[in-house]
Amino acid sequence: MEKIRTIVVNRSAYADNDAEASLLRSYLKDRGVFLINVMSSPGAGKTSTLIKLINALKSSYRIGVLEADIDSDVDAISVSKETNVKSIQLQTSGMCHLDAGMSKTGLDEIDIKDLDIVFIENVGNLVCPAEFDTGAHLDVVILSIPEGDDKPLKYPLIFEKCDLVIINKIDTLEYFDFDFRKCEEMIKYRNPKSTIIRISALTGEGIDKIKNYLKNKIDEWRKS
Amino acid sequence: MEKIRTIVVNRSAYADNDAEASLLRSYLKDRGVFLINVMSSPGAGKTSTLIKLINALKSSYRIGVLEADIDSDVDAISVSKETNVKSIQLQTSGMCHLDAGMSKTGLDEIDIKDLDIVFIENVGNLVCPAEFDTGAHLDVVILSIPEGDDKPLKYPLIFEKCDLVIINKIDTLEYFDFDFRKCEEMIKYRNPKSTIIRISALTGEGIDKIKNYLKNKIDEWRKS
């Protein structure tokens, strides 16, 4: 296991974030690096989903991970230990989200020249990360069963912006009152083009579906 | 059930927020109204905890509730229906937190003159609400078992600032890997003066402990 590097990132110029994000997307396209931004509430299972997913993808792609957190490096350590891929911790020093400048800083540090995919694990927050384009080619939100089926009703923007909605912890379904139909209808109302995949990061159920979805997305993107 | 009023609140002047919050605390003290700010991640159980707690307290206190949400009024409707106390929805129109000016707007609308306690249910977010003093006399954070025991490590500020940490969904403990000792040690590290109470908003276990804690806090505050 490589030693974890921790980078302190600060807010970039907000006015230019959309422009910076577009530039970053093109820059990465020219270099063949597909950037995936993963968002969720605290504790919805971003890290455990990423670990299972990276282990499923790493024979086909060279992968790196930028782990954003306010004030710890435990996720970067877990990802590095469980997957053996390159992982860097971005400490936001209290900031509630990443922006494009912050992801660029992380990408420069991780050295993308031998990578095909970089995952960003954003700060655990359903509100602010959705407001700031990180420069990713794909935005993903993870919602977990214990949080309840009404989250797409209450946190509209993140569900409007995400290409993929992962519903995690389906292994706990019998202990919670969660109405898939109601939840998925509201997700589709927020964004009719979104894809919804049900998984359990604990048992691994559904991880193959995300893997196939991402392979198709990356193939399309390479041809675009 | 009273019809739910929905008030759209906007960000107040940030530079003056601490001063505004102090003024609001004094204003409420003069009027005998104890303001309690309840924060958590999305889906940790703020609304269901408040419903159980208000029903336990309402024979002793006259209670009002300000329900903050980005874009829905479902929580104010639930609280009003399940408790019959006065409830107002504050829609933040995308904002990730409440500040003192926004709580004052809500308090003016709910009409505090016949109330002893007002609960604020803040926006579901472990980051930003902790940065903005709402003018409350007591700050509470709810952490739930499915979110994991590492949240006090990853979201320092909210645990530093809260007087009371409620650990909810203890009825689901057998389905999740949650280490109380590790979690509670980290909470005490963040704030040695905090009180920790374990509850299940589903079964009602522990609600009497919060009730007794609040009664003592309100008695002390009235004498202060």
Q: What is the pLDDT of residues A52-81, one digit of tens each?
A: 999 999 999 999 999 998 888 888 899 999
In chain B, the residue whose alpha carbon lies closest to the alpha carbon of A175 is: B172
In chain A, the residue whose alpha carbon lies closest to the alpha carbon of B147 is: A43
Closest by CA position to A189, among listed A219, A157, A160, A217 = A160
Asked if A86 and A64 count as a contact pair (C-beta separation under 8 A), the reply is: yes
Domain total for chain A? Answer: 1
Q: Any idea what the CATH number is for the domain that residue A86 is in? A: 3.40.50.300
Q: Looking at the domain assignment, is residue A197 inside a domain? A: no
A100-109, A169-178, B11-20: lowest mean pLDDT where? B11-20
Contacts of residue B212, Cβ cutoff 8 Å, sequence gap at least 6: none
Q: Looking at the domain assignment, is residue A155 inside a domain? A: no
Q: Which residues pair with B37 in a beta bridge?
A: B120, B139
Residue keyed to tokens 């790493």 = A58
pLDDT digits (tens, 9 = 90+) for B155-182: 999 999 999 999 999 999 999 999 999 9
pLDDT at residue number B71 = 81
pLDDT at residue number A1 = 47
pLDDT at residue number B14 = 53
Out of A41, A71, A72, closest to residue B43 by CB? A41
pLDDT digits (tens, 9 = 90+) for A128-162: 999 999 999 999 999 999 999 999 999 999 999 99
pLDDT level of residue A189 (50, 70, 90 thresholds): very high
A6 CB near a chain B CB, below 8 Å?
Answer: no
Q: Which residues pair with A138 in a beta bridge?
A: A36
In Å, how far is A97's CA from the nearest CA of chain B?
Answer: 9
Q: Is A177 exposed, middle or buried (0-12, 13-18, 19+ CB in 10 A)?
A: exposed
For all residues of chain A together, what is the average pLDDT?
Answer: 93
Q: Looking at the domain assignment, is residue A29 inside a domain? A: yes
Q: Looking at the domain assignment, is residue A118 inside a domain? A: yes
> Of B97, B154, B160, which to mutate for an interface test with A (greatest number of A Cβ within 10 Å)?
B154
Q: Looking at the domain assignment, is residue B8 inside a domain? A: no
Say what percent of chain A tops pLDDT 90.
86
Q: Looking at the domain assignment, is residue A176 inside a domain? A: no
Whole-angstrom Cα distance, residue A175 to residue A155? 24
Chain centroid to CA B23 = 20
Whole-angstrom Cα distance, residue A10 to residue A102? 7
Q: Looking at the domain assignment, is residue A194 inside a domain? A: no
Enumerate residues 80 to 109 of chain A having a beta carbon within 8 A of any beta carbon in chain B. 94, 96
A49-58, B68-77, B150-159: lowest mean pLDDT where? B68-77
The two tokens of residue B190 are: 């963040």
Asked if B119 and B63 count as a contact pair (C-beta separation under 8 A), the reply is: yes
Closest by CA position to A169, among listed B75, B169, B128 = B169
B19 CB near a chain A CB, below 8 Å?
Answer: no
The two tokens of residue A31 are: 């270099």
In Å, how far is A7's CA from the nearest CA of chain B?
Answer: 16
Q: Put the strands of the sheet holding A195-198 in their side by side order.
A: A5-8, A86-91, A63-69, A117-121, A34-40, A138-144, A164-168, A195-198
Q: Looking at the domain assignment, is residue B12 inside a domain? A: no
Which residue range forms the structural domain that includes residue B180? 18-219
